[in-house]
Structure 1
Amino acid sequence: MSSGALPSAIAIVRISGPRARDALDHLAGAVPEVGCAALRTLRHDGEILDQAMLLWFAGPRTVTGEDVAEIHLHGSRAVVDACFAALQSLGLRMADPGEFTRRALFNGKMDLSAVEGLADLLAAETESQRRDAIRRQRGFIPQRLHEWRSRLTHVAAAIEAAIDYDGEEEVGGDPVYVIGGIRTLLREIERVLALAPAERLREGIRVAIIGPPNAGKSTLFNQLIGRDAAIVSDIAGTTRDVIECPIAIDGIPFLLVDTAGLRTTADPIEKIGVGKARDEAELADILVDLAADRDSERCVAVSAKADVTDARPGTLAVSVHKDTGIVQLQERLVEMAAAMIPLQGEVAFDRRYRQALAAVRNDLSVAVGTTDPLLVAEHIRLAIRELDRVLGGDGVEDMLDALFGRFCLGK
């Protein structure tokens, strides 16, 4: 089913494959013209199932590359169940999660990067996530990789010609020109690797609130997420476990983390919580530190109870009860996060691409560091092979299983 949860105004059942036409013909008695909607009464075993809108798309000019039919039913569970039962009695089966998109990939209707972009778009919760997913879905990453591969192929051809026709000036490439081209490409790849990874945008900038017991961490956490998720009391050591909550500020995704108070304790349970708090401090992209005396590269120093105690010099004074300093803290978080995510118009490369580009960078670095043309040619060949692999050649089946598991059944 390609539409949302039931009950609903309309439920869309999508069929893809060589038996789609026979299924429509059986239920409706006729198949509409390609791309034209038709209102039909659906019947099975002489019984009326529903009055539905039908759409027919003949392969290969469809989203999956196969014959595709859509049945727009009234969105009740009973109607949809009856339709499913009728289709299954005809030998059709339910699609696996993401199977329509998998077929589109295997039939050349989408490339791997577009599939990943679609998965990110379906999961997008913030404006920055939406923009990045659309750019990925529109093929920015494979276009860039194909461009680099094409340039490396020309470089490889020039080097091979120089090796095969050594000493013949009119044949082969100018070594200075060839190495200059490799250096230019190397700088471009290094700029991409310097950008924040896609995982940071997809999962949210991790912000851990840390500090001693009773410093106001949980109260500040609740204020930032807009609800009472963490227990607040005057008893030191109330928070003993890690509490996470995703939020968005100015379209940027954050994962806010409340932690136990940092102190030496004999309580074995609290000691576990303190250990987790220290781990979170190491994992976080940004720290909101209620004990620090000044900001640092990844830390915002906050005095969280400015309404009852004097703020420490050099810190941001915050009072949840007087609603002061909260906006300034949010602005500071956005400012720090902006340096960690792709800029407007850029696309984040995720771990799979970054690992491949790191390997390409290493090979190109070796190539520009040697004067032996055979070594240069070998490392250019290795770099091209790595780009071929990440563009969808080798060893992607396990990655596809994990990727398509993120999709709904109707995708």
Structure 2
Amino acid sequence: MLDGSKETIYALSTPAGRGGVAVIRVSGPAAVDCLTAFQVTSLPKPRVATRTVLRRKKDGVPVDDALILFFPGPNSFTGEDIIELHLHGGPAIIDAVQDILSACKGFRLAQPGEFTRRAFWNGKIDLVEAEGLVDLIEAETEAQRVQALRQLKGSLSALYEGWQKRLADQLALIELGLDFSDEGDVDEEDTGLDRDSMTGILHEMQAHLDDGRRGEIVRNGVRVAIIGAPNVGKSSLLNALARREAAIVSDIAGTTRDRVDIHLNLGGQAVIVTDTAGLRASEDVIEQEGIRRSLAAAAEADIVLVMGEYGEPDALPTPETHGGDPLVVWNKMDLSTGERPAGICISAKTGEGIPELEQELTTRVRSLALQSEAPVLTRARHREAITEATVRLEEVLQEKDSVLLAEHLRAAVAVLGRIIGKVDVEDLLDRIFRDFCIGK
């Protein structure tokens, strides 16, 4: 069990500050005892909001007119008894209630993520579902919300648990064969391995890995880098996309010397657009570093927007990218009457062509983060673990010795168990739960 699980914890589960409603959550073996500290004489019916006046026990002074909800364990979020106090959201009320709770014997303020950590230890959720919960809380776009909710509901966990069970069943058969290997009627070369089944699981894992990192792109955002020569209007375009003055704009070449990021929501997808230093030969050491960072941004980006000046087709840079064909954009079309080049023509100054550019960006972003019903990888630790499992399965399919074969299978089962939290999870807990707020 979780260290400190005999203690009762409490925390504000709504954002700090003034608001219409504030919720303080209490969880633990003595959760219901907190009601006596507020002179509440009867326990509310489970899951029924009950209105009552909270009073300080020591002097009977009213604290707030509130709603109380009782969620008895084990059928609660944490698996323990939970009391929720729905208060008016004034800071003085919140402080007064928390002061009373802090004086209750065996009560303490919860640590970040501790409610969810207790839910994990009490078998209410696994680690993958816990990660889905924090992603859901932090979701800023529709795509992030949909993906996180699916993970919270167990779609990814079911996939990994299914693989783990099939491998564990195969391992059990092989170990059974090892137990009877000294019997005279057992063929030493018969390991009991179902190669077709193991090959099928390996192919499923490889297909899961070969997803274009869609899940991670949805969760972290599509990276777009704006690359071009100095003074072609990269910063002006960034400001036009952001609808604010996010970057300094100047007629002086080389104004931008470092990366400037903005976050957008395009078609329900999170997008990070990066303005970079202009690409040119320079003796300035600082500008050279900015140019190096520009080329690095292009190499890392999912989409590279290469920008040139309308009427100057020979000035278009060709940086190395991994994000497919660059999106070519010609700026300053309001200043030139020359032949229209191939690509998207805009005027960052007047806004002409910006809607067409946003539409093309949205199309490309959606193609990268294409949603599907199949569970997708959302974190690097999942990808690392599945990759390790495929390596183990490849060793299984090549191994002839039953003892070594069983060891490879046992390692693959353990790797999948670490993802969902079935084995060896102590080293993962702090990393996973550190992103939670205090009251979650």
Structure-2 residue corresponding to 1:219: 236
- The within-5 A match list for 1:331-370 is 331-341=359-369, 343-349=371-377, 350-370=379-399
Task: Work out whether residues 346 and 352 of structure 2, in 8 Å CA contact, stay in contact via their aligned partners in 1.
Answer: yes
Q: Find out whether 1:392 has 2:427 as its counterpart.
A: no
Cα drift, residue 72 of structure 1: 1.5
Structure-1 residue corresponding to 2:324: 297
Task: Work out whether residues 344 and 353 of structure 2, in 8 Å CA contact, stay in contact via their aligned partners in 1.
Answer: yes
Aligned residues: 410
Amino acid of the residue matched to residue 16 of structure 2?
Answer: A
Structure-1 residue corresponding to 2:194: 178
Task: Work out whether residues 158 and 178 of structure 1, in 8 Å CA contact, stay in contact via their aligned partners in 2.
Answer: no
Q: Residue 323 and residue 378 in structure 1: after superposition, are their counterparts in 2 closer, same or farther (change >3 A)?
A: same
Task: Work out whether residues 366 and 379 of structure 1, in 8 Å CA contact, stay in contact via their aligned partners in 2.
Answer: yes
Task: Work out whether residues 231 and 254 of structure 2, in 8 Å CA contact, stay in contact via their aligned partners in 1.
Answer: yes
**Quick one: distance in 2 between partners of 1:222 and 1:73?**
42
Amino acid of the residue matched to residue 279 of structure 1?
Answer: A
**Quick one: distance in 2 between partners of 1:151 and 1:88?**
49
Q: Residue 293 and residue 404 in structure 1: after superposition, are their counterparts in 2 closer, same or farther (change >3 A)?
A: closer
Where do 5+ consecutive residues of structure 1 fail to align?
A: none
**Quick one: distance in 2 between partners of 1:118 and 1:112?**
10
Q: TM-score, normalised by structure 2?
A: 0.85
Structure-2 residue corresponding to 1:86: 100
Amino acid of the residue matched to residue 330 of structure 1?
Answer: E
**Quick one: distance in 2 between partners of 1:117 and 1:190?**
22
**CA offsets 1:145-164 (integer angstroms, 9 cap, x no match):** 11111222233344445564
Secondary structure of 1:101's counterpart equals helix
Secondary structure of 1:93's counterpart equals strand
**CA offsets 1:195-217 (integer angstroms, 9 cap, x no match):** 14443222211111011101111
Amino acid of the residue matched to residue 88 of structure 2?
Answer: H
Task: Work out whether residues 267 and 366 of structure 2, in 8 Å CA contact, stay in contact via their aligned partners in 1.
Answer: no
Amino acid of the residue matched to residue 6 of structure 1?
Answer: G
Which deviates the most, 265-274 or 21-30? Answer: 265-274
- The within-5 A match list for 1:2-41 is 2-30=13-41, 31-41=43-53
Q: Of 245, 252, 265, which residue of structure 1 is paired with 2:269? A: 252
- The within-5 A match list for 1:7-406 is 7-30=18-41, 31-44=43-56, 45-46=58-59, 47-91=61-105, 92-160=107-175, 164=180, 178-197=194-213, 198-290=215-307, 291-292=316-317, 297-309=324-336, 310=338, 313-341=341-369, 343-349=371-377, 350-406=379-435
Where do 5+ consecutive residues of structure 2 fail to align?
A: 1-11, 308-315
Task: Work out whether residues 240 and 351 of structure 2, in 8 Å CA contact, stay in contact via their aligned partners in 1.
Answer: no
Q: Residue 72 and residue 329 in structure 1: after superposition, are their counterparts in 2 closer, same or farther (change >3 A)?
A: same
Secondary structure of 2:263's counterpart equals strand
Q: Residue 233 and residue 23 in structure 1: after superposition, are their counterparts in 2 closer, same or farther (change >3 A)?
A: same
Cα drift, residue 254 of structure 1: 0.8
Q: Residue 135 and residue 26 in structure 1: after superposition, are their counterparts in 2 closer, same or farther (change >3 A)?
A: same
Amino acid of the residue matched to residue 286 of structure 2?
Answer: I
**Quick one: distance in 2 between partners of 1:172 and 1:75?**
71
